A and B are shown apart, each in its own frame.
Chain A
Amino acid sequence: MGNSSSINLTEEDYEQIRAETGFDNSQIRRLYSRFSHLDKRSKGYLTRQDLMLIPDLAINPLGTRIIDVFFLDEENSSRVVEEVNFRQFIRTLALFHNKNKGDGTTSCDEKRIEFLFKIYDKDRDGKLSKDDLAHVLSCLVGHHIAQEQVYSIVKRTMREADINEDQFISLEEFKQALKDIDIQNKMTFNFSRT
């Protein structure tokens, strides 16, 4: 049948993914079946379009930004890739694994914060400019607010977060701005079937 995965994971694959991501076998199997389900034409990889077909993601104001971050090159995050295979897919999701303590919880939360940072960082230059913030805000509010007003709101947000006043928010300043948010709680998911 169309959706049943024709290529199955070998025992070796499981072992490698387990070591890499900390998922257990049933979680890997579940994510693999999710991946095959999203991969409509059994290409072996996902494209942006495949993810946009999830209706709940398509109506998320930040849906396209989230997808963009999924399609960043892992080695060099200033480059974009067109295809994501299962290994890359599961590595990205492993960031949000609640069992994933990695080397101490803090470093994992830091990676999650980096993910959020990349959501803002549209031009992928490693720092957030006014334009980056304005883009996310206009994603959130749509055309209900004029562009210059978006900028005037962003200016104030910038003033608060930009500690050294260089007109950019660095990753360090970004972490500072998020220090009151329980990332551990908000950015982890239960990957086992409930």
Chain B
Amino acid sequence: MLPPPDPSSLLNDIEEYAFLILRFMFSFWSLLISYNMISAFTNLCLFRRIYIGLLRRMYRLFGFKAKRSVVKNKTVRFQDDIIDNGGVGSTLTRRRSNKSFKGEFQIGDIVDYVHDGIEVIIEDEVTKCFSTEDVEEWNLMSRTRFKENLGLKMELLLILSVIFRFTIFLLIRLPIGIASLLWLIITMVVLSIIRFLFPHSRTVKQIERYCVMVCSRLIAAAFSAVVNIQHAENRAKLGSVCVANHTTPVDIIMLAVDNCFTLVGQRHGGIMGVVQVACSLAQEHIWFERKIASDRRMVASRLKEFLSNPMNNPILIFPEGTCINNTSVFMFKKGCFELGATIFPVVIKYHREFADPYWNSQEQSMVTYLAMLMTSWAIVCDIDYLNPTTLKEGETAIEFANRVKADICRRGGLVDLPWDGMIKRPAGTESYLNKLIEEERRTYLEELLDKEDNESDDDEGGLVMRANRDRERQ
């Protein structure tokens, strides 16, 4: 007769197995983190590249070919006079300008305005840039909206893909993410001590640059990020300014994999705030509060002071000032183009089929956004360094900014839009929108006045003068 099962021995067994699994996980994680350390120090990411290759193969296998986003070389042109008054302007003015008028104010004059108004109700370029772009091929993630109904097979694949993505997220990315954050903080503390001891040593400076790059490579590993660098010879040099199009805060990590920057940006709270404080321990960064005018003035003088030392790290600036969904580029603010430094433009293009990198700061918190990225397939991005450029003779800062922006759009196949990125946050944009509507009105008025001129009615003479005076005042 068998003895009755002893409950305490069963518990012992469970505990033993749990301990075994834990031990296995720990050795797995230490192996994983040491591998990632090595890959971060050498900047080789063998496994990740194999993984991306496998993903591409999978897309092909299931008929969702991982097509590179089609290059749309569409540019919404500025009117020349609009560039003069601050780079604002709209597509409306451009479209209507060559219209022929037949006389004074006609009943039919409104047709064009109504046409444009209804057109933008049906679809408009601008709000589209603030939302996730629809993917053309479904990439086995439920969050990319796909319109057609899925068959049973696809539903099964979707479930498998969810299980797979959340497993690699929990077992691989999260541990790397936590480890890399800790590593970043340790590095920064150690570096700040070394800097305190040898404040002017060049070697220390180089070691520092290298260590910071290792940190960002580790963080990049937590997203399975693969960064393809093109035209590496144009990498931003010391004592210069690097400008790029902006899609997500992760842009910074992608760029920092290959170079070490001084960052300029909005001060954040939460997890971003911790990282910002950590980074400021060992390196000089410029954080400011966008809404405070004295802060903005401080930034300009700090930047000038910073650029006066040619041994300082390049400054990284996103002149759009807001995240756009990687299809278009909005107006470049002129601030960093007034400094007189060499500008190194950079195009960052994401392969959207692996993950949608756009951060909609109006809807998602930073933590939600990071979790969403980490449970996506991978981040694959192309970084293209453009030829450095400086202010030409007789060029204003605004023209310079527009030229650099046009270069970035051309190289990246992005749509060049003249709008100011601040319209992403609707509050406080009234004065900007009013300025634009006034521009529309002036266009109409000028056409109206041309007609008045032709007819030269005596009693309307005062009108022309008055309008001219208005124009001069503006």
Is B112 close to A, CB under 8 A?
A: yes
A154 contacts B105, C-beta separation under 8 Å:
yes
A119 contacts B110, C-beta separation under 8 Å:
yes
Instruction: Give the interface segment out of B117-125, B192-200, B245-253.
Output: B117-125
A140 contacts B108, C-beta separation under 8 Å:
no
Is A161 close to B, CB under 8 A?
A: yes
A66 contacts B124, C-beta separation under 8 Å:
no
CB within 8 Å for A59 and B90 given contacts A54-B121, A177-B107, A181-B111: yes
A191 contacts B121, C-beta separation under 8 Å:
no
A152–B462 CA distance with the chains assembled, in angstroms:
12
CB distance from B241 to the nearest CB of A (A): 29
A152 contacts B440, C-beta separation under 8 Å:
no
Shortest Cβ distance from B474 into A: residue: A144
Is B153 close to A, CB under 8 A?
A: no
A54–B118 CA distance with the chains assembled, in angstroms:
11
B104 contacts across to A, CB distance below 8 A: 153, 156-157
Shortest Cβ distance from A52 into B: residue: B426
Beyond A62-B110, A141-B448, A187-B115: 13 further Cβ-contacts under 8 Å? Answer: A34-B123, A57-B121, A58-B437, A60-B116, A62-B113, A116-B111, A119-B110, A144-B441, A144-B470, A161-B107, A178-B108, A178-B111, A191-B122
A1 contacts across to B, CB distance below 8 A: 132, 143, 145, 363
Main secondary structure of the interface of B (DSSP, over half): helix
Shortest Cβ distance from A191 into B: residue: B122
Is B155 close to A, CB under 8 A?
A: no
Task: Count contacts on B: residues with CB < 8 A to the other chain.
Answer: 54
Q: Mark B112-143, 1 if CB is under 8 A from A, else 0.
A: 11111111111111110001100000000001
Is B274 close to A, CB under 8 A?
A: no
CB distance from A113 to the nearest CB of B (A): 10
A-B contact pairs, 11 of them (CB 8 A): A34-B122, A56-B120, A59-B437, A60-B437, A62-B110, A149-B463, A153-B104, A178-B108, A180-B108, A187-B114, A191-B122
B466 contacts A186, C-beta separation under 8 Å:
no
Main secondary structure of the interface of A (DSSP, over half): helix
Q: Mark B438-474, 1 if CB is under 8 A from A, else 0.
A: 1011101100100000000001101100110010000
Q: Which of A5-24 touch B at CB < 8 Å? A: none
Partner of A61, one of B106, B113, B121, B125: B113
CB distance from B203 to the nearest CB of A (A): 49
Q: Which 3 A-B pairs have the closest CB atoms?
A: A142-B441, A56-B120, A66-B117
B442 contacts A144, C-beta separation under 8 Å:
yes
Partner of B122, one of A66, A116, A189: A189
CB distance from A32 to the nearest CB of B (A): 10
Is B169 close to A, CB under 8 A?
A: no
Q: What is A's interface to B at a CB cutoff of 8 Å?
A: 1-4, 29, 31, 34, 37-38, 51, 53-63, 66, 70, 93, 96, 115-116, 119-120, 136-137, 140-142, 144-146, 149, 152-154, 156-157, 161, 169, 174, 177-178, 180-181, 183, 186-187, 189, 191
CB distance from A178 to the nearest CB of B (A): 5
A152 contacts B459, C-beta separation under 8 Å:
yes
CB within 8 Å for A181 and B444 given contacts A60-B116, A61-B113: no
A189 contacts B131, C-beta separation under 8 Å:
no
B92 contacts across to A, CB distance below 8 A: 56, 59-60
B108 contacts across to A, CB distance below 8 A: 177-178, 180-181
Is B419 close to A, CB under 8 A?
A: yes
